Chains A and B, each alone.
Chain A
Amino acid sequence: MDLQTLWFAAVAVLWTGFLLLEGFDFGVAALLPVLGRRTPDRHLMLRSIGPLWDGNEVWLITAVGAVFAAFPGWYATWLPTLYLPFVLVLFGLIIRAVAFEWRHSHHTPAWDSSWTWVITTGSLIAALGIGAALGATTLGLPIDADGTRVGGAFAGLGWPALLGAVAVLAFSVVHGAMFLALKTDGPIRMAARAFARRWAPVASLPLLAWAGLVQLRDGTAVTAVLWLVAALAVVVAWARIRVEREGQAFAAWGTMLASAAATIFGAAYPVVVPSTVDAAFDVTIADASVSDYTLTVMTWAAGIGLPVVLGYQAWTYWVFRQRLTAEPVHEEPAEAHA
């Protein structure tokens, strides 16, 4: 495998990792008004993602950083073409980040519910916006031969963006419910399980449709198999949550996302920004890439750095592995069947 292909795969893995991790904290945040109407439930939900969301978000920073580092031609085409949508994503991420920390710097019900509302709103905006951006960069953007946008400020927001937005949000919401079912105990666990059972089949549809469209356009036999794996994983996830095996359901739902993302990136390869104006203007990894020297340097750095990162992030998840309950106890009893 040449270095450009390796880094395309690395970028795909980073985006997938981001969606798998931040997906559940987006989802939990989006579910706050649904499952967290009672204050102790809401606080339990926030506590379940409290130590994790910031580390999850670094996957986004790293994914965008890797796009810039390996494929500046992709970065410099994708971002300005969707200028205002990306700015909106930044707003969502900014307000939700400060809300997580500032929410508990002051103790009044109004303060608490306002910042909770901000967390939900910011997460919704960010999930929709990032979904739109990913949908657009795999299904098509209106760019000319120089990679410059054709049309006005919202020309990049066609149906591909809309499909991506809905797909990422729908995936995240059920992912969040699966996570809550796995991570908490008590009434919230039951409610989250019921929610996931009810919505998982529907919520998988936009993502499968998106992956299917990229597959139909440019797919290979391998990506076709990956798409089938994704579809099968939905069935497994749904079947396992029905019999209250939350861990297995969560894993299957994650497998669905990973397989769908692999289908999308695998089928789109080697194009990173398809042009809706003319296929001749498509930006490919060869057009967008940095030199082999720089890719080599980064391969070494990532080869050493990434396993270490994965190691300590895994340790964090291990430290905070206990199921949480609404009753605040300082030594949570460890749950064996997580």
Chain B
Amino acid sequence: MDVVGLDVLDLDTLDVARWQFGITTVYHFLMVPLTIGLGILVAVMHTMWVRTDKPEWLRMTRFWGRVYLINFVLGVATGLVQEFQFGLAWSEYSRFVGDVFGSLLALEALLAFFLESTFLGLWIFGWGRIPKKVHLATLWAAVVGSIVSAYFIIAANSWMQHPVGVVTDDATGRPRQVDFLAVLTNNTALAAFSHAIVAALMVAGALLVGIGLWHLRKRKLAQLPTTDTDHAVWRRSVRLGGWVSLAAFALVALTGDWQGKLMYEQQPLKMSSAEALCETEAPASFSIFAWGKLGSNECDDVHSITVPYILSYLAHGDFSTAVPGVNELQEEYSAAYGETYPDDPSFGDKAGEPIDYTPVLAVTYWSFRLMIGMGAVSAAVAAYALWATRKGRVPTSRIGVYGSLLAVAAPFVGNATGWIFTEMGRQPFVVYPNPDVPVEDQIYFFTAQAVSPGISAGEVWTSLISLTVVYGALAVVELWLLSRFVRRGVTSGDGHPTPGFTPEPPDDGDDGPDRGAPRRDRDDDVLQFAY
């Protein structure tokens, strides 16, 4: 069976487990940035309502809060899989990194997940039950929980990219933690965390812009007034989303540049693979478009259109630094870490096979470009939206508005490809050797030796297929729920709902944020009180 150049039936446990990790993690990370980014923005809206008492901020809090919750729960549900699958499919990895990695996951649960879930429950069910300002604080506590959780999990991931704070234990041969603070302040983690948080804000910003513009245009075509609360809701959403996107994009670029400089020092092979740079260059040029045999890593057959000097700048902040090419690094790594995998059963099918230290160039090269490209698209759309809505204007251009709606997907793709790049770019290692440490003291672990030894390919196939099917079904329901809810717009009240759809009933759930609605709505929502 041949699927995208892979002989599917030939995949061994390791390959299937890698596909499973990739699929479940990328899927999970579609929800996560929206949870983080939109959580922050909903908390801002709620704060504005508490401070100004303006009805549009309440409406925005309720509307975007509902979107946030529909998405949040899928993030929670798929996050469960993450915590178990290190043990399920990657038990040898878990044994090897246990002294560092497990404690970060446990701390994430203890210090972040409890905060997030408990206070979100209080926020959802607390409308009208707890004092207004305390109620606002519960949302902020939940949002802080999400951000803290991102920090711990990124610290765990960054330790795999750049292991610090550990020595090799003489008795076990595994890393033993000696400096927890070093693990927490790993520069790789600080850079990746700030990059991920601002990228999450781009996701939320694009959503506000796309949906806000769509409603504004729809209302204008139906000649609804521009003075009512509903209009203010969509206008403020677009303006807030647009400015957040633009500011976040600037920060994404800055933090990304920081990451690039760290990558040059810590994982030079990932850097040259991002560029499909086969031969060392000084000064090095940045590739715009490449073709040839990227997929099979045949460097002699890779061609590229480039801009001179730029890669030297990205790597080291000047226009002359040499950036080593894939061919040179491959030899360096072979000399340091061996030409072939040890002939040991723990390496499974890979035992005794030659090691390719170069990640799949087609993946690293194109995911890196997609990540940057999608970020740029988002920023351009945000700029367009701000310009098109300047001084109270409402755009009616079909292309502009529907383009912005479509571009809601762009930062999601950017986030996903960013992680695909980061994770695929460190192959064949699952724990990458830290070059700051002398080679003989370095700690590293090959992906090939990380998989659970006792499980069969059939078991992993079973879970991979069934997880993918369930995830697919959940995605369909989530998108249906979200699009239905989003099209209906804000709840009916003093304003005019967006035409063409019945507005959501006054109570948008049984428990939902609407319980804080003005008294007039409440009489209706008694009937809707379904829980």
Chain A residues in the interface with B (C-beta under 8 A): 43-44, 46-47, 50-52, 54-55, 57-58, 61-62, 64-66, 68-70, 72-73, 75-81, 83-84, 86-87, 90-91, 93-95, 97-98, 100-102, 104-107, 112, 146, 148-149, 152-153, 290-291, 293-294, 297-298, 301-302, 305-306, 309, 312-313, 316, 319-320, 328, 330
Contact = CB atoms under 8 A, between A and B. Distances in A.
B177 A294 contact: yes
Given A43-B510, A64-B83, A75-B87, A301 B110 contact: yes
Nearest to B464: A87
B91 A77 contact: yes
Interface stretch (B118-126, B377-385, B389-397): B118-126
6 contacts: A58-B109, A72-B95, A72-B97, A87-B88, A107-B530, A319-B129
B114 A104 contact: no
Contact of A93 (B70, B77, B99, B453): B77
Contact of A80 (B87, B104, B117, B129): B87
Contacts of B73: 97-98, 100-102
A65 B91 contact: no
A46 B484 CA distance: 24
A107 B505 CA distance: 9
B32 to A, nearest CB: 15
Given A80-B89, A104-B512, A149 B103 contact: no
A98 B473 CA distance: 12
Given A68-B94, A76-B95, A328-B526, A291 B110 contact: no
A183 to B, nearest CB: 14
B463 A87 contact: yes
Contacts, number: 243
B104 to A, nearest CB: 8
A84 B98 contact: no
Contacts of B177: 290-291, 293-294, 297
A148 B455 CA distance: 9
Given A90-B84, A312-B115, A312-B118, 16 more contacts: A43-B530, A43-B531, A44-B531, A57-B117, A65-B107, A70-B102, A77-B91, A80-B452, A93-B80, A94-B78, A98-B474, A104-B510, A104-B511, A146-B453, A294-B177, A316-B122
B114 A313 contact: yes
Contacts of B529: 328
Contact of A75 (B102, B121, B453): B102
Contacts of B92: 76
B485 interface: yes
A112 B528 CA distance: 13
B84 A301 contact: no
A112 B481 CA distance: 14
A52 B106 contact: no
A171 B474 CA distance: 31
B522 interface: yes
B38 to A, nearest CB: 15
Contact of A65 (B98, B102, B118, B453): B102
A107 B531 CA distance: 11
B409 interface: no
B462 to A, nearest CB: 7
Contacts of B453: 146, 148
Contacts of A101: 69-70, 72-73
A291 B101 CA distance: 13
B74 interface: yes
A107 B528 contact: yes
Interface in B124-148: 124-126, 128-130
Contacts of A86: 84, 88
Interface of B: 66, 69-70, 72-74, 76-78, 80-81, 83-84, 86-89, 91-92, 94-95, 97-111, 113-115, 117-122, 124-126, 128-130, 169, 176-178, 180, 452-456, 458-460, 462-463, 466-467, 470, 474, 477-478, 481, 484-485, 505, 509-512, 515, 522, 526, 528-531
A80 B470 contact: no
Contacts of A316: 118, 121-122
Q: What is the predominant secondary structure among interface residues of chain B facing chain A?
A: helix
Contacts of B512: 104
Contact of A73 (B95, B121, B459): B95
Contacts of A301: 107, 110-111
A65 B111 contact: no
Contact of B180 (A44, A57, A297): A297
Nearest to B24: A90
Among B105, B515, B528, max chain A CB count under 10 A is at: B105
Contacts of B100: 294
A112 B125 CA distance: 19
Contacts of B470: 91, 94-95
A47 B510 contact: yes
Contacts of A146: 453
A106 B125 contact: no
A104 B69 CA distance: 11
Contacts of A98: 73-74, 77, 474, 477-478
A65 B117 contact: no
A305 B522 contact: no
A66 B113 CA distance: 14
B103 A112 contact: no
Contacts of A79: 84, 87-88, 91
Nearest to B123: A51
Contact of A83 (B88, B477, B505): B88
Contacts of B126: 319
Contact of A51 (B121, B169, B460, B466): B121
B57 to A, nearest CB: 22
A146 B101 CA distance: 21
A336 to B, nearest CB: 18
A153 B76 CA distance: 28
Contacts of B481: 102, 105-106
A319 B484 contact: no
B250 to A, nearest CB: 34
B105 A102 contact: no
Given A69-B106, A76-B92, A290 B99 contact: yes
Among B72, B100, B106, max chain A CB count under 10 A is at: B106
A320 B86 CA distance: 36
A65 B511 contact: no
Contacts of A305: 107, 110-111
